[in-house]
Amino acid sequence: MDALDEVLADLQQLLAARKAAPAKARADEGNFRCVRCEGCSNCRFCIECRGCDECTYCEGCIECSECTQCRLCVECERTSHSTASRACVGCSYVMLSIACENCVHCFACVGLDGAEFCILNVRHSRRDYQARVAELRAALEARASKGWRPAWFAEVQCDDDPAPVVEASPKPATPREPDAPTIAARREEIASPRAVTTSASRPSPPADRVSRPEPSESSGGPSVTRAARPADATGRSSVLSARRPPR
């Protein structure tokens, strides 16, 4: 077995170990006593966090991983006791800081690595730092309690929100032109027994037709004229003679 065969064998063992490793928990699984958290996994005692993984005692954080006692942090990793910071890795006690790594006790710093007791990327003594940050921390917590959030915090929320759907205005309806009558439709119209006869095509009554007199209201109904009875030998009309046939 040469050197390449040994590398291939070790590579096969790494692949086997990867397959045997437990799969990452899905969102909203493995949490313990979290309150109003969404899309988090394996978190404990967190409040109103979103998309975090393996965080503990965090509040209002978004997409953080393995953080402890952080508040209003975004996309931080392995960070603890920090507030309103973004994309910090391995930091502790940082506030309003962005993209810092392995920093301790920094306030409003950007892109520092391994720094401590800094304000706006400027190094201070421990005593001066604590004196100045005490007042700034109190003002920051007061604003946060009233709903204030850093600018980058609002940007992350806007990115996660779905884009509004703009409905197109309806087009005005175009009036439909009447279809030209075809020969077949004309024949069906003529042959149809349900053809409607207009008042102009109705025949007028004949001129010599005598209208019947309407009944009078005083008589109570139409008058009936009876046929005359046949007269007998004495000249009087007889009912019996009218009913009996002559012999």
Residue ranges per structural domain of the chain: 26-69, 87-155
pLDDT at 106: 96
Residue 115 pLDDT grade (very low, low, confident, very high; cuts 50, 70, 90): very high
Q: Which helix (H) or strand (E) holds 12?
A: helix 3-20
Q: What is the mean pLDDT of residues 23-41?
A: 84
pLDDT at 157: 61
Can you give the pTM of this predicted structure?
Answer: 0.55
Instruction: Output the CA–CA distances (angstroms, integers) from residue 154 to 63, 67, 225, in the order listed.
Output: 14, 20, 106
CA dihedral 87, 138, 135, 71 (to 10 degrees): -10
Nearest to 97 by CA among 70, 119, 125: 119
pLDDT at 35: 94
Tokens of 86: 């973004």
Using the predicted structure, report yes or no on whether residue 98 has a pLDDT greater than 90: yes
pLDDT at 200: 44
pLDDT greater at residue 215 or residue 128: 128
pLDDT at 147: 87
Percent of the chain with pLDDT over 70: 60
pLDDT greater at residue 188 or residue 108: 108
pLDDT greater at residue 236 or residue 20: 20
Q: What is the mean pLDDT of residues 30-48?
A: 94
Using the predicted structure, report yes or no on whether residue 202 has a pLDDT greater than 80: no
Q: How is 111-162 classified by DSSP, letter by letter?
A: S-BS-EEEETTEE--HHHHHHHHHHHHHHHHHHHHTT---HHHHHHHHHHSP
pLDDT greater at residue 148 or residue 8: 148
Residue 36 pLDDT grade (very low, low, confident, very high; cuts 50, 70, 90): very high
Least confident of 10-19, 50-59, 119-128, 216-225: 216-225
Kindly report the average pLDDT of the chain as a whole number: 75
Percent of the chain with pLDDT over 90: 44
pLDDT at 19: 73
Q: What is the mean pLDDT of residues 215-221?
A: 46
pLDDT at 198: 44
Tokens of 153: 């915090």
pLDDT at 95: 94
Q: What is the mean pLDDT of residues 7-27?
A: 73
Residues 6 or more apart from 153 whose CB is under 8 A from it? 62, 72, 74, 84, 86
Residue 234 gets which letter from DSSP? T
